[in-house]
Amino acid sequence: MKNILVIDDAATVRLYHCNILISAGYHTDEAINGIEALEKALTHHFDLYIVDINMPKMDGYEFLKELRSKDIPQAPAIMVSTESAKNDEMLAYNAGANLYLVKPVKPDELLSFTRILLGEGI
Amino acid sequence: MAFIKQKTQQSINEDERSAPRDFDGLCLELNHDDAQVRRWAIRDLATYTQASSTLAARLKIEDNSSVRTAILDALAKFSDDISVSALVDCLRSDEASLRNEAIEVLKSEPEQVAPIIENLLNDSDSDVRIFAVNILESLQHQNVEKWLISVINNDSHINVCATAVDLLSEVGTENAVNALENLKCRFADEPYICFTVDLALQRIRQGDH
C-alpha cells in the first residue's frame, strides 16, 4: 500500500486530505509542520508528500528544500496553498515541488494528481 | 597565494567591543557585515524604547533569517504602534517564513492587535485576511467568535471563510450555527467547505471544545 505524508498545520485540512486518500486505498501519516515532517521523512518511507506552504516553525518551502538536499530516496511532492496571486507557484517548484495546487483541493483533483505522480495513471 | 585571515570569534568580539554601546553606536552596527554583530546590536537596542522605528526599518532590508528573528523578538518586546505596524507589514511579504514568524509574534500581542484586527479582517488582500484569522486563533479576545461569524457571513473568498470555519470548530458556540449553515449553502458545490462546516457543527452540537 502506498504511503502518503500529509503536512499541514490545520487539523481539519489534514483530516480532509487523509479521508480522501484513505478512501482510495492509500495509507496516510500526518505532520503539523516542516520540522515534524522532516523527522518522519528521514525515518519512514513515503511515496508522496502533500505539503502546505504556510506553517509555523518550518514552512513548506523550507521543508522541501531540506528534504531534497538529503541523500535519501526521494518521492514526489504536491504543494498546496491558499495563495494564488503571489509568486508562490514558482517558489514551490524551485523548492522541489512536482505540482502546485490552490486550496481547497477537490477530492477528484487530489486523487487524479496523486495517481499520476505515483505512476498509477488515472 | 595570499593568506586570508578568517574572521574569528575573538575578532568579532573585538569589533563588538570597539563600537560604542550607546543608542547611536548600536544603530550603526545594524549595518555591520557580520550577522552576529547585528544580532548583538539588536539585543542591546531592545533595551531602548526609541529603537522600534529603527528596528522596523532594518526589518525591511535584513536578509539574514536569524537576525530577522532577533528583530521580530525585539519588536514583540516593544509592543508599541510602530512595532505592530511593522509586524503587520510582514504579512504582505512574499517570504513565507517571515509571514509565519510575524503571525506567531502577533498572536502573542492580543492587546495591541485587537484594535486593528477588524481592519486586517477587511483588508483588500485575501491572504492578509487569512493571516488575520490565523492570528485570531490565540488572541483570547471576547469578540473572536463575533469576528469569525462576520467573516463567514460576509467574506466572498472561499479560503478566508474556510480558515474561519476551522477556527469556529474550536471556539464556536450555538451562536455560530446559523452562519455556518448559511455558508454551506453559499458554497454548496465546494466539498471542503461542506466537510469543514459539518465538522464544526458536529463539534458545536457535542460541546466538543
Which of B82, B108, B134 marks a domain boundary? B108
Is B13 inside any structural domain?
no
Chain B neighbors of A61, CB-CB under 8 A: 96-97
Parallel, antiparallel, or unpaired: how do β-strands A48-52 and A99-102 relate? unpaired
pLDDT digits (tens, 9 = 90+) for B151-201: 999 999 999 999 999 999 989 999 999 999 999 999 999 999 999 999 999
**Cβ contact B97–A59 (<8 Å):** yes
Residues B129 and B193 in one domain: yes
Three-state secondary-structure class, residue B14:
helix
The grid coordinates of residue B58 equal: 532594518
Is A44 inside any structural domain?
yes
What CATH number does the domain containing B32 carry?
1.25.10.10
What CATH number does the domain containing A99 carry?
3.40.50.2300
Domains contained in chain B, number: 2
pLDDT value of residue B8: 54
**Cβ contact B130–A82 (<8 Å):** yes
**Domain coverage including residue B100:** 20-108
The grid coordinates of residue B181 equal: 449553515
Select the residue of B103, B104, B190 nearest A104 (Cβ to Cβ): B190
Select the residue of B100, B159, B191 nearest A55 (Cβ to Cβ): B100
**Per-residue pLDDT in tens (0 to 9) along chain B, 209 residues:** 444 445 555 555 555 555 667 888 899 999 999 999 999 999 999 888 889 899 989 988 898 988 998 998 888 888 788 888 888 888 888 888 888 888 888 888 777 788 888 889 999 999 899 989 988 887 777 889 999 999 999 999 999 999 999 999 989 999 999 999 999 999 999 999 999 999 999 999 887 55
**Cβ contact A54–B199 (<8 Å):** no
**Cβ contact B96–A106 (<8 Å):** no
Is B10 inside any structural domain?
no
The grid coordinates of residue B145 equal: 467568535
Is B97 inside any structural domain?
yes
Q: Which value does ipTM take for this structure?
A: 0.90
Is B192 inside any structural domain?
yes
Is B120 inside any structural domain?
yes
Chain B neighbors of A66, CB-CB under 8 A: none
Interface A:B, Cβ pairs < 8 A: 60
Which of B73, B108, B143 marks a domain boundary? B108
Is B2 inside any structural domain?
no
**Domain coverage including residue A54:** 31-79+94-105
Distance (Å, whole) CA A90 – CA A84: 11
pTM: 0.82
Select the residue of B127, B134, B195 nearest A16 (Cβ to Cβ): B195
Domains contained in chain A, number: 1
Interface probe with A: pick from B124, B190, B195, most Cβ of A within 10 Å? B195
Nearest alpha carbon to residue B111 among B151, B82, B137, B79: B79
